[in-house]
Amino acid sequence: MECVDRRLVGDLLALSRVEGLPVAEAAGRLCMTRQGLYKILRSLRERGYVEEGPVVKLSQRGRDILSAALRELLSYFNIASIRVVGVVVSGLGEGAFYISLEGYRRVMEELLGFVPYPGTLNVKLDPQSLPYRRYLESLPGILIPGFTNGMRTYGAVKAFRARIRGVEGAVVMPERTHHPTDVIEVVASVKLRDVLGLRDGDKVEIEIYL
């Protein structure tokens, strides 16, 4: 197992707060000199933790370090679930098609413990819940592998067990999706709109198990 320098984690965490900003502005936000920040960025760039460019940007390797740190913090503080809030919105109709595919349906039943209804409930997250989506993106979740049917290749899906208004299900995050980043998809063994009497615009809270 790789031993991670504790100072490295601190530097990456600080840079994550100013990601996307020019170096001069980022240095001011971090209360340090431009020269000091350039020195840190140069060192991290040489080791592959940040990318070249006019703005501060972590590389995938850098994000992976922060993801590992996040998992350790969640474990330390015994955080087993998070709650997100949003409103029900109409989807593109893709959920029914994809979940009905045997390559997804069979593995979902095996890994999630239920036969998914062929369709997803789409929830547009409130702004205060958006950071939690980034948490989910950095966590491993339950991997539903991609597959090919000989004519087309379908991407992997990451899932987290979840509960919405007392109904057990899962949040699914496809590797490839046309949904904007503020929309999450929920699957269950039942049609959630009918069972819960939901319509577009209804507010819902989802508990997501980590």
What residues form DSSP beta bridges with 143? 158
Instruction: Reply yes or no on whether the pLDDT at 2 is more than 70.
Output: no
* 38-41 long-range Cβ contacts below 8 angstroms, 24+ apart: 40/11, 40/15, 41/15
Instruction: Reply yes or no on whether the pLDDT at 185 is more than 90.
Output: yes
User: Residue 52 to residues 5, 15, 47: CA-CA distances in angstroms?
Assistant: 22, 14, 12
Instruction: Reply yes or no on whether the pLDDT at 140 is more than 90.
Output: no
Contact 171, 136 (CB under 8 A): yes
Contact 115, 44 (CB under 8 A): no
Contact 119, 186 (CB under 8 A): no
- What is the structure's pLDDT at 1? 41
- What is the structure's pLDDT at 5? 80
What residues form DSSP beta bridges with 185? 122, 172
- Cα–Cα distance for residue pair 173/163, rounded to 1 Å: 16
Write the class of the CATH domain 6-76. Answer: mainly alpha
Q: Where in the chain is the domain with CATH 1.10.10.10?
A: 6-76
pLDDT digits (tens, 9 = 90+) for 52-106: 999 999 998 998 898 888 888 888 888 889 999 999 999 877 778 888 889 999 9
The arithmetic mean of pLDDT across residues 173-194, rounded, is 89
Arch. (CATH architecture) of 81-209: Beta Barrel (2.40)
Contact 124, 100 (CB under 8 A): no
The beta strands (E) that lie in the chain are given as 81-89, 121-125, 142-144, 147-148, 153-154, 157-164, 167-174, 183-188, 203-209
Q: Where in the chain is the domain with CATH 2.40.30.30?
A: 81-209
